[in-house]
Structure 1
Amino acid sequence: MTEESSRVQSGQAPANPAAGEGGQAFTREQVEALFINAAREGDADLLARFLDAGMSPNLQVEKGYTPLILASYNGHKDAVRVLLSRGADANLQDEKGATALAGIAFKGDAVLARMLLDAGAEVDIPNAVGRTPLMFAVMFGRDDVARILLQAGANVLLRDGEGLNALDLAQRQGNATLLQDLKKAVGVSA
């Protein structure tokens, strides 16, 4: 038995991290796919190992997705922590202009919203059709996240490609409580 095969059988990683069983090297695309999958699945330990081996925390793959966008969208807090601590840019956008914060606003994870904002996520980056994270939070009834975004200085009056702002969207959704909060944020009386 070779040293390499004894390591594989005992569960240890091969000596060459880019080599699979039998010493076959992975292609760059395969390594990137494994890294992105670790982010999507929330495997914080494996992400850290990839980052230690030189993977960029800001790698952009199909559709412009980054490890941070995928980890945060799927609610993986530990993976998000690892990526942010290793220099992931919270403001990178996918090919439709969405940031990790926009995905969180859609999903409604208040803890991740705070983590991204604390890491420097800009609160008002619009996507390709002009929708901001606040607009997504309002549209999908994510009131807690909308309030966090308001506290972070989100601009209630920005308009999307249809000419609508967060006030319009809250009114359209029939969300009277959030509409009042939005009006307070811009100094409009009820």
Structure 2
Amino acid sequence: MKPKHPLRWIIPIAYVVSLDGCVALFLVGAFFELEESNAFETAVVALMGIGGILLIASIVECIVLHAVNAPYRQTFSRRIMLLTKVGLVPFFCLYGFALAILIVGSTDPLLATTSRLSIFAAVLIGWTAMMGGSAWAIAYAFSLYREKLMCAGEFVVHTLLQLIFFADFFDALVLFAVGRAREALSKRISFAQPVRP
């Protein structure tokens, strides 16, 4: 069943736009050499803050949607999962580049302590950003498991993969394809069963 409330898309889409907006802002800042300006720093902090708020709102929306057993929760979760994972590819490309620079910088004895703290902070930020899509993926996998369209072992594997960088993206693609096929098969079977008087 299709979502009856198109406004539900606003928070997840705004979350993706806010983080990808940071990427665009960094690229524009680097091109025009604006990194030192106060306006640039304020804009980056504001976008990251908005992204954090939208992350929390998106996870709350996911929990509420599944808690009330909305009839369209599976389809909606599957689509939002894919939208978030694919939509954040630009953000994570820049994030990976920045993390690589920090790791290389940590080999310098003078910058080692600062770089290691920065690496820890960067990994924490990246993992938190990743959870914006992983929450939807885990909720979707759980709904498939609850409706007996997925076994417990599969659910555990999908959940664990959604907590690991890079693996989460490929797992989401597999989960999208497999879940969609199983939903369609389940609907065909339910329609094919005769109605008992």
* TM tier, smaller: under 0.3
Q: Structure 1 length normalisation: TM-score?
A: 0.27
- Of structures 1 and 2, the one with the larger relative CO (CA 8 A, separation 6+) is 2
Q: Structure 2 length normalisation: TM-score?
A: 0.27
